[in-house]
A and B are shown apart, each in its own frame.
Chain A
Amino acid sequence: MDFDGAVIASAIEVPYRRKPSGVTTMSLLADAFAALLNDSGLPAERIDGLAVSSFTLKPDHAIDIAWRLGLRLRWVMEDTNGGASGINMLQHALRAVQCGDATNVAILAADHLSEAALLHLNDNYNAVVRDHLAPLPFGGPNGLFSFVTQAQMRRERLEPVDYARVCIAQREWAALNPNAVYRTPLSVKDYLNAQPVAPPLGRYDCVPVVSGADGLLVSREDGRRGRGVRVRALHALHNYDQQMGDGLETGLLLVADDLWRQAGLAPDDMDIACVYDDYPVMVLAQLRDLGLMGGMSMKSFVAERLSTRSLPVNTSGGQLSAGQAGAAGGLHGLVEAVTQLRGAAGARQVADARRAVVSGYGMMEYRYCLCANAVVLERAP
């Protein structure tokens, strides 16, 4: 089933900040909602659907946000799937609009994580983490992705300099994004000399934690309103290997053919890719699983396509340079891709960007994450 009749009408980001004062998750959600209304030109009364994702919303839920925002809703959902939550919410919102359950769905994600809140989240992410990883201790997801990185280095014959190139390329994009928290140039020497975090992972392999929010508006397609972005395909596969593999693949590997078939497009047709970048290892895993490396080795792809930025990947700077605002990270790539397709990306605008692929990845279990999804977007003619 295609996605005709529903479009992404608006995309916004509340600028990410490191340790801001006077900010709460609730205030960030309110700011994101206001920005969506401002960007779309819709009055709040026209919003009849709401989807929310946040790690720090408790004890509130999406409906509590609706009450605080004064919304009367025909459709409401909350998503708890972290780095996959953005595309998950989009998947549900598109169908709700297509089926007539709602006309204008605001998708919001935000987090303001204090140091204490981050530590608590890392150790209490789920029961497996709380009971089997936190007592080790395991250093949060850094420890787990150190092992995934080491396995990928062996299998793909990668060296630290290859991961440096991933981070440097994203930093070069970030230098063009006024809202990225890290914009200063990064060199291979900086990367290799960085403070170790969980070797081989160092400081620049890990996302800077920020406070911020992202938002999308999914609306019934309306020929009178331009600048919309259409969804050509969307697929998800969660817990695809039952945590019995090595974490080097994601569920995207098994749905990529269906994704491109539904889109009627091929990886080479993409002008931009925004993949969930909690760690460089997963940037490469998702790009490979989606088929964007073609027949190239991972090492050659990094050197020839990613490092040169001939394939624009994570053009906001990604979470590695723009920052990770908790669950908002699940929307960050979507918002960036839509911004690019609307021609609104400023200095980092990819010329004549018409199509983009965005992927989500998240929800750490015992050794790596469970959730994966991807969407192919196209600028409306």
Chain B
Amino acid sequence: MSVAVQICRSCRTQFFPPRLRCACCQACAFDEALVRTAVIEDITTIRTRRPDDASRGYLALVVTERNLRLLARLDRCCSPGAQVRLQVAADGAIAAFAEGGADPCGGDDGGSPA
């Protein structure tokens, strides 16, 4: 499922997460748009602190075509500038999937991608 974002019906500014009123023009009516791709702006490695889960994962700040910044779980290490496909995962998180190219971290999940 692609990522649904809000579009202000009045000024067409996009928002995510959803707002009650447009932050630009204060309009209250929104349309919905689906975002399927974005470009990675930055990436980091997250170590969860949950007692039952000591795994690491990649977290990315991605920018959509309309300049909306989203936070996404990344399937593997990528370099900033890489294009990603976006989906909403079953747990509600935005998941980003890198499209081709080599893994700049060499598949080392414990390495620092930054």
Contact = CB atoms under 8 A, between A and B. Distances in A.
Given A147-B42, A151-B42, A136 B93 contact: yes
Interface string B8-24: 00000000110000011
The interface size bin for chain B is 20 to 34
A144 B71 CA distance: 9
B47 A139 contact: yes
B59 A143 contact: yes
A212 B97 CA distance: 43
A149 B17 CA distance: 22
Main secondary structure of the interface of A (DSSP, over half): mixed
A135 B93 contact: yes
A198 B46 contact: yes
Contact of B17 (A115, A128, A135, A150): A128
A200 interface: yes
A242 B71 contact: no
Contact of A143 (B46, B51, B113): B46
Interface in B27-80: 41-42, 44-51, 57, 59, 61, 69, 71-73
A133 B94 CA distance: 9
Interface string A171-211: 00000000000000000000000001111110000000000
Given A128-B17, A131-B92, A137-B57, A143 B73 contact: no
The interface size bin for chain A is 20 to 34
Contact of B92 (A115, A135, A144): A135
Contacts of A317: none
B89 interface: yes
Contacts of B47: 139, 197-198
Contact of A139 (B24, B59, B112): B59
B112 A199 contact: yes
Contacts of A119: 49-50
A144 to B, nearest CB: 8
B1 interface: no
B114 interface: yes
Interface in A117-162: 119, 122, 128, 131-133, 135-140, 142-144, 146-147, 150-151
Given A137-B48, A138-B46, 17 more contacts: A115-B51, A119-B50, A122-B49, A132-B93, A132-B94, A133-B71, A135-B91, A136-B57, A136-B72, A137-B50, A137-B73, A139-B46, A143-B46, A196-B112, A199-B44, A199-B113, A367-B71
Query: Nearest 8 CB-CB pairs, A to B?
Result: A199-B114, A242-B23, A139-B46, A135-B93, A146-B44, A199-B112, A147-B61, A150-B42
16 contacts: A115-B49, A115-B51, A128-B17, A132-B92, A132-B94, A136-B72, A136-B73, A136-B93, A139-B48, A143-B44, A143-B71, A146-B59, A200-B112, A242-B23, A366-B71, A367-B69
